[in-house]
Amino acid sequence: MAQRPYIVGNWKMNGSRAMLAEARAIDRAAARHPQVDIALAPPFPLIGLLREAVTGIGVGGQDCHTEAKGAHTGDVSAAMLADIGADFVILGHSERRRDHGESNALVRAKADAALAAGLGVIICVGETLEERDAGRAEDVVASQVDHSLPQGEVALEAVAGGKLAVAYEPVWAIGTGRVADVEDVIAMHAAVRARLHAAYDEAGARPRILYGGSVNAGNAAALLAAPEVGGALVGGASLTADAFLPIVAAAGAGEG
């Protein structure tokens, strides 16, 4: 990998105070992998606690609202995430798009809000199995990238500052145990990179493109060695240090 690898654990709606022990173990191990950027995104109630528990890894949220404050019961603003110690936020995950009907336009508005609050952003994109079987995978993902990426001066500054990443997660591979073929990952990451260049010109080479979808210790090395794969967005395997750290180690070995 030409870029410094970025390994992010998405705990989704999992976690408790007891799981802070896993985060501490991951944090301690981070010192053995200084060439890898490591982060965890726990559920909202644990963000502040996790921030206090770790020192060497990033801490992020899994979503934010487009507005900084207001009458939006149950929502959390980007400013609130930043206030409790979050460094970044994951936006547009397929589970948000599916369960909450989030559109590309809404993801872009959330990204704008997050960047304005000083957070880094990971924009998620990915096709369904039906879309892949129909031969539309690259078109679908390209459209998601084009219409979800933040725009404007703040976005360009974020891109230049390394605060924007894109995560390609084929929907059919998330939590299923299925993983895209490396050749398909290479092709899709190249397509995403092309859209990043279209959006940001030469600065489009800067954002890291992560792969997500049943990443584990057994497949991480092959995936992370592929061109344009700048890291991984890890779901279930990020819930324990024993499962997550081999993925981190695979990223570090690729940089050795």
Task: List pLDDT tens digits, range 94-132.
Answer: 999 999 999 999 999 999 999 999 999 999 999 999 999
CA 73 to chain centre: 26
Per the listing, tokens 């397929």 go with 94
Rounded Cα distance between 220 and 223, Å, is: 5
Which pTM does this prediction carry? 0.96
Collapse the DSSP code of 157 into the 3-class scheme (helix H, G, I; strand E, B; otherwise coil) and give the result: helix
3-state secondary structure of 169: coil
The predicted-structure confidence for 42-64, as pLDDT tens digits, reads as follows: 999 999 999 999 999 999 999 99
* Residue 238 confidence (pLDDT) above 70: yes
| DSSP-derived secondary structure letter, 39 | E
Active site residue ranges? 93, 169
pLDDT for the residue 2: 55
Q: What is the pLDDT of residues 125-167, one digit of tens each?
A: 999 999 999 999 999 999 999 999 999 999 999 999 999 999 9
